[in-house]
């Protein structure tokens, strides 16, 4: 019983110092990959880089202690990071304090949902995400993740557009206008280091080495060069006015936003008062007026936001050269410095973000972007604030992230279990992943899941138990306590390169081909999910939802239209579909096989198909229903079967049934249908049934003139030669 609640106790049954050494080495190896990866993925999630370290602190250890897989490496992953950012984009500005709070609350919500699914033994719900849907979504997500890093890779700054492809157009235009080549060089160099080391030896920690080398080069070359100046240092006419215009527009956005929020609260109070009075008589005049004011303010707010975006883009597009005299900087438009003024060779840009500019301390960017200061020490431990309103805001995306994250984790765990022979419990894994997100959120972690790459590293390093994950977490703790200052000069372009290299493995074009070969509609669902996800990005939930909806439609259609086949004797001396194998059919006996549960959605379909077989054979004397494929039957199915038996017999035909399963017999017994059909007309299997019916119909005294000597139910009688049959199946 203790192993059920504390599964990690099972590790210590035969644990030894030798096994600990192996786990220790594996844990350190994974940490060397996790630390730089986690910082990169945090930025993908719209968070400061150091929040990746927070997400790499508690979750790996907790997931391992309470999960069922001994080698699964949990922590920040690309797809979940992207979905976390996408789900919170409508609620707050990426990187803001509010956005960070929402990210942590989302992790708690994801954890709660996963934990409840595990406790209630509902791990099977993940089956709603079919493989074609996941393949289409993952391929689209990989492209979105990689392209979302282009701005950092080229050293350009743009505002996000409503659609990801529009943002990429802006990035392309900005990169054509001006690319910061030192930034690009760092990104390309990091990719070259990782690719080269991976080819030399996959066991080499190529990510860590790329990060270490580029950070050292960044430090010694002065890659990052920022200067803080007064607005008066901008000597080009009109720039100071543009800064003021931007600040005024931003102030107007804040004012309108506050006013709309205030009226929104008033509207909620009015609605609450109306409900207390019974809510009769429709919406009040006051409520209509408040709603109208909100709509008007929303229009003005959209205009103000557009004004801010235009002003910000104009300021960002300005390029300056700097002149230094007496220890102070003066900035001129590039190429417009007065004659005789000696300028520094760099190109400078004005840093413009999502807040008002401080005119007394404007940040001028003369180099590339770096990670910057990372707070030393462990994160603050506190329970995230999650009220009812926030919970229901986050729940829809939390459900999708929970299922997708768990599906990724369990797929990795199963692949490793196939190699190690370990027995997995999907529900226990859900509990482990849920606790990792819940407890991780207390330590300022955002949503996490199992990682393909790090799990593979863990397995290759020889990890035997989850102790390796505990070691990994301790390595992150040591980094947070002592080594964060060393990461200050890490270029952002290098983190972008780390992400792009990591998501290459997510691309799986063969998955589309494989799905299409299996069933054309699976291939179509995969392609549609891929296209829809790309089009609606960053609203990734739409791609998943449309893919799931299409899968459900196909499932329902196939359930309503199961295979109903007329059988004949095949070359292998077993009854098979006459249409598929191109076999002759008996004119007097029709053996009909129904594949699927007989329930309300398809009950009438069976009757339709039997009627079709009757109409196709004017000499038909008997119908045998092969029920081997009927696993279940509800009241509607039972009633439809009873009505079909009556119609067949009223038409002067005989009816028999074979291959009934126990649970179906129970239903027929309780309703009296078993007795109505008659024990003599119920056979254990199709071989016994056909032998008896052929003897009765073809060789009996009531055989109509022109009966079968060679019956297709007992003899292999193809419609055409074997070569044509093979060709027909391939077309």
DSSP 163-206: SHHHHHHHHHHHHHH---HHHHHHHHHHHHHHHHHHHH-TTS-H
Asked if residues 125 and 403 have their Cβ atoms less than 8 Å apart, the reply is yes
Count CA atoms closer than 13 A to 52's CA, side-chain side: 29
Is the separation of the CB atoms in 31 and 475 below 8 Å?
Answer: yes
Distance CA 547, CA 524 (A): 10
User: Which residue carries 């069976």 as its tokens?
Assistant: 606
pTM over 0.85: no
Phi, psi of 331 (to 5 degrees): -110, 135
**In sequence order, what are the beta bridge partners of 568?**
576
Predicted confidence at residue 730, as pLDDT, reads 47
Ramachandran region, residue 629 (left: φ > 0; alpha: ψ -120 to 50; beta: rest): alpha
Alpha-carbon distances of 441 from 38, 259, 475, rounded to whole Å: 15, 32, 19
The CATH homologous superfamily of the domain defined by 561-730? STAS domain (3.30.750.24)
User: What are 321-355's pLDDT values in tens digits?
Assistant: 888 776 678 888 887 777 767 777 678 888 888 78
Tell me the C-alpha distance between 469 and 412, whole Å. Answer: 15
Q: What ranges make up the beta strands (E) of 375-485?
A: 449-450
pLDDT of residue 701: 45
**pLDDT < 50 positions in the chain:** 701, 704-706, 730-731
Write out the E strands in 579-702.
589-595, 622-626, 654-658, 682-683
Using one digit for the tens of pLDDT, what is the confidence trace for 633-652? Answer: 999 999 999 999 999 999 99
> What are the sequence ranges of the domains in the chain?
16-219+376-518, 226-365, 561-730
- Predicted confidence at residue 424, as pLDDT, reads 83
- Sequence-ordered list of residues with C-beta below 8 angstroms from that of 78, at least 6 positions apart, any chain: 41, 44, 141, 142, 145, 499, 502, 503, 506
- Alpha-carbon distance 290 to 311, whole Å? 31
The answer to whether the beta carbons of residues 245 and 231 sit under 8 Å apart is no
Model pLDDT, residue 104: 96
Any bridge partners for residue 350, and if so which? 364
Q: Quickly tell me which residue has 């590790």 as its tokens.
A: 11
């Amino acid at each position: 019983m203790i192993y059920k609640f504390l599964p990690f106790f099972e590790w210590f049954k035969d644990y030894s110092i030798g096994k600990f050494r192996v786990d220790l080495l594996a844990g350190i190896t994974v940490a060397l990959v996790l630390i730089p990866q986690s910082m990169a993925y945090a930025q993908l999630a719209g968070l400061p880089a150091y929040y990746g370290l927070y997400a790499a602190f508690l979750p790996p250890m907790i997931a391992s202690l309470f999960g069922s897989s001994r080698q699964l490496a949990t922590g920040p992953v690309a797809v979940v990071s992207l979905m976390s950012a996408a789900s919170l984009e409508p609620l707050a500005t990426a990187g803001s304090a509010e956005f960070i709070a929402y990210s942590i609350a989302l992790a708690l919500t994801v954890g709660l949902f996963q934990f409840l699914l595990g406790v209630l033994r509902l791990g099977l719900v993940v089956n709603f995400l079919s493989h074609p849907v996941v393949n289409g979504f993952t391929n689209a997500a990989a492209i979105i993740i990689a392209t979302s890093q282009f701005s950092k890779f080229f050293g350009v700054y743009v505002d996000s557009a409503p659609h990801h492809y529009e943002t990429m157009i802006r990035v392309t235009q900005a990169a054509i206008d001006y690319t910061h080549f030192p930034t690009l060089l760092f990104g390309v160099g990091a990719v070259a280091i990782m690719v080269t080391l991976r080819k030399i030896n996959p066991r080499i920690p190529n990510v860590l080495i790329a990060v270490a080398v580029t950070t050292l080069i960044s430090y010694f070359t002065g890659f990052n060069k920022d200067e803080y100046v007064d607005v008066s240092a901008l000597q080009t006419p009109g720039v100071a006015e543009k800064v003021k215009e931007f600040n005024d527009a931003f102030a107007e956005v804040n004012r309108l936003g506050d006013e709309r929020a205030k009226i929104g609260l008033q509207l909620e109070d009015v609605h609450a008062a109306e409900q207390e009075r019974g809510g009769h008589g429709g919406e009040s005049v006051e409520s209509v007026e408040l709603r109208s004011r909100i709509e008007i303010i929303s229009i003005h707010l959209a205009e103000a936001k557009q004004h801010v975006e235009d002003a910000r883009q104009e300021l960002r597009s300005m390029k300056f050269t700097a002149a230094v005299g007496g220890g102070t900087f003066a900035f001129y438009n590039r190429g417009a410095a007065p004659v005789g003024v000696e300028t520094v060779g760099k190109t400078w840009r004005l840093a413009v973000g999502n807040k008002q500019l401080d005119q007394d301390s404007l940040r001028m960017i003369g180099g590339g972007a770096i990670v910057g200061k990372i707070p030393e020490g462990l994160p603050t431990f506190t329970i995230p604030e999650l009220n009812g309103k926030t919970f229901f805001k986050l729940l829809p995306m939390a459900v999708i992230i929970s299922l997708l994250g768990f599906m990724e984790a369990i797929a990795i765990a199963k692949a490793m279990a196939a190699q190690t022979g370990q027995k997995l419990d999907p529900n226990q894994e859900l509990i482990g992943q849920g606790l990792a997100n819940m407890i991780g959120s207390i330590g300022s972690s955002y949503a996490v899941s199992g990682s393909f790459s790090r799990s593979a590293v863990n397995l290759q390093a020889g990890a035997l138990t989850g102790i390796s994950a505990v070691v990994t977490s301790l390595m992150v703790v040591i980094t947070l306590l002592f080594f964060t200052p060393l990461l200050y000069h890490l270029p952002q372009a290098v983190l972008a390169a780390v992400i792009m290299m990591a998501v290459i493995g997510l691309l799986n074009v063969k998955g589309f081909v494989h799905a299409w070969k299996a069933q054309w509609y699976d291939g179509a669902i995969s392609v549609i999910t891929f296209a829809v996800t790309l089009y609606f990005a960053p609203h990734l939930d739409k791609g998943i939802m449309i893919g799931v909806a299409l899968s459900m439609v196909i499932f329902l259609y196939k359930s309503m239209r199961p295979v109903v086949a007329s059988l004949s004797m095949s070359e292998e001396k077993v009854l098979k579909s006459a249409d598929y194998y191109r076999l002759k059919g008996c004119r007097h006996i029709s053996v009909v096989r129904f594949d699927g549960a007989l329930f309300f959605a398809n009950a009438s379909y069976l009757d339709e198909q039997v009627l079709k077989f009757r109409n196709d054979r004017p000499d038909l004397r008997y119908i045998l229903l092969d029920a081997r494929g009927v696993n279940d039957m509800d009241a509607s199915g039972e009633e439809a079967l009873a009505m079909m038996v009556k119609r067949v017999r009223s038409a002067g035909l005989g009816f028999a049934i074979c291959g009934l399963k126990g649970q179906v017999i129970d239903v027929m017994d309780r309703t009296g249908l078993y007795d109505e059909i008659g024990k003599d007309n119920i056979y254990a299997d199709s071989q016994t049934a056909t032998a008896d019916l052929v003897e009765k119909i073809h060789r009996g005294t009531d055989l109509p003139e022109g009966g079968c000597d060679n019956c297709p139910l007992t003899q292999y009688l193809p419609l055409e030669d074997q070569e044509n049959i093979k060709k027909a199946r391939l077309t």
